[in-house]
Amino acid sequence: MDDHIAPRRVVILGGGFAGLFAVRALRRAPVAVTLVDRNAHHLFQPLLYQCASGILSSGQITQPLRAVLRRHGNVRCLLATATGVDVYARVVHAERADGTSVSLPYDELIVGIGVKQSYFGHNEFAQHAPGMKTLDDALAVRRKIYCAFEMAESVTERRAVVKVGRFHASGVLGVADLAVHPHRVPHRLPEPVRGTAQLGGGLRLRLPT
């Protein structure tokens, strides 16, 4: 008589903070965990603004999920995007990086796929205040900042205005980083004033020499 009992199958959607906390809580449980995320890395979101301002590189705020969970013997990581959940059949449908489909049967499902930025009913703000939730968002803001510094470097006026963003807390923090660490800006801006960052609502922050 076979007395082997198969472990319960747990599928976790999302490799963010919620997903990792769930994995660690199940570390010693008699379960088989499948962690599904469309990225191969865990992103430390609180430092996105420092990546956007160029203070930190993208590699300093991300870490491969497999490296984070290498000591969790009951976990496997799957690089895929969840496309649907059949709650009656208890199956997650996902699409892998190569475009193939995969079905993941589960006994327990944990969903921690994160959130999107909210404009509180004013979606027209989106074109002026881009989101800061993903690494792509941060790199897009960085490109705009570096483009602004590139243009400022080419002007002859003593005062260069760098427009960073409007109505966005991360934009303010990013500019504060640049003010504290002006030596990290790889551009030769007009002297003696390094530049002025326009934050929104008429507020400007002067970057020191």
In the chain, how many domains are there?
2
Global pTM value:
0.73
- Dig out the tokens for 137 from the structure: 């968002």
Does a structural domain hold residue 136?
A: yes
The residue type found at 187 is H
180, 142: one domain: yes
12, 101: one domain: yes
77 against 181, higher pLDDT: 77
Alpha carbon distance 39, 44 (integer Å):
13
Q: Which of 15, 138, 10 is nearest to 67 (CA)?
A: 15
Q: Is the dihedral of CA 178, 180, 184, 185 positive or negative?
A: positive
Between the alpha carbon of residue 168 and those of residues 51, 118, 141, 172, 173, the distances in Å are 15, 11, 11, 7, 9
Which residue, of 111, 139, 160, is where some domain finishes?
111
Range(s) of the domain holding residue 33: 8-111
Q: What is the pLDDT of residues 99-147, one digit of tens each?
A: 999 999 999 999 999 888 888 888 888 887 778 889 998 898 888 888 8
